Amino acid sequence: MNPIIWATLISSLATSTIITMTSNHWLLAWLGLELNTLSILPLIMKPHHPRATEATTKYFLIQATAAAIILFATTTNAWHTGQWTITHTTPTAATLITIAIMLKLGLAPTHLWYPGVLQGSTLYTALIISTWQKIAPLTLLYLTHNHLNHTILLLIGLLSAAVGGMAGLNQTQTRKIMAFSSIAHMGWLITAMTMTPSLATLMMIIYLIMTTTMFTLLASTTAKTITDMGTTWPLSPTLLVTALLTLMSLGGLPPLTGFMPKWLIL
């Protein structure tokens, strides 16, 4: 890819997230989300592989649907309250927005597109989808926190944690395993959101660090399946040990960092 085009896409990706994070007006937040989707589509499509094209189409349709639901909810909200500020949200609009954000984040029961999209992307693009792309929708949840239906959030959180944990068991593809791990972690995060947003922030920071580490390790060894992971030992024992520790931390095993947010949430 042309370096100028690449730089433009990455900078618009960063800008769009910041627009959503700093907005106080629903239309601006929606604009940020749309720009976010549009700037990552060429990155997913880059390999020119049929699977990459399929992943791009899936991603585009899901994100566009979610953005349309947000636009519908906010328009209804503006019609009822007479203002577009994010802090003034009616319960109906808040519920619709929650559903749209769940769709954007790939939480159960609207999670089926997520492993497919990650499987069709390169490891670094999958990293962006799993980390940076989560920030803008989560910010909207933080901003509307007081108006959210906590029962729905709790149900979605529990369901995602269960689905993410169970569905990852029968996988051999590293990207799919990471996708289900992401679904489960987002479930924990949403559960934390119902209680204390600051706890959700801690969970998010740790999730971002761990996922970035894991994807970087996978990308540096180009490990596409679990079998590939096993052949890393002669290449770099240190790398495999780091991968092992990161995976255990992602799983939330006691002496490691990943256990802390789960312990606090419980």
The predicted pLDDT at position 235 comes to: 80
Burial class (CB in 10 A: 0-12, 13-18, 19+), 257: middle
The predicted pLDDT at position 225 comes to: 85
The predicted pLDDT at position 44 comes to: 94
pLDDT tens digits for range 119-148? 999 999 999 999 999 999 999 999 999 899
> Which has the closest alpha carbon to 94: 29, 39, 141?
141
Alpha-carbon distances, residue 18 vs 51, 116, 135, 214, 249 (angstroms): 30, 27, 9, 25, 29
- Average pLDDT per 10 consecutive residues for the chain, totaling 266 residues: 92 95 93 95 92 95 96 95 90 94 93 93 94 94 91 95 92 92 95 92 95 92 84 84 92 91 92
The predicted pLDDT at position 222 comes to: 85
In the chain, which residue ranges form alpha helices assigned H by DSSP? 3-22, 26-45, 50-81, 91-105, 113-120, 123-130, 132-143, 150-167, 174-195, 197-221, 226-230, 232-235, 237-251, 259-265
What is the average pLDDT score of the chain? 92
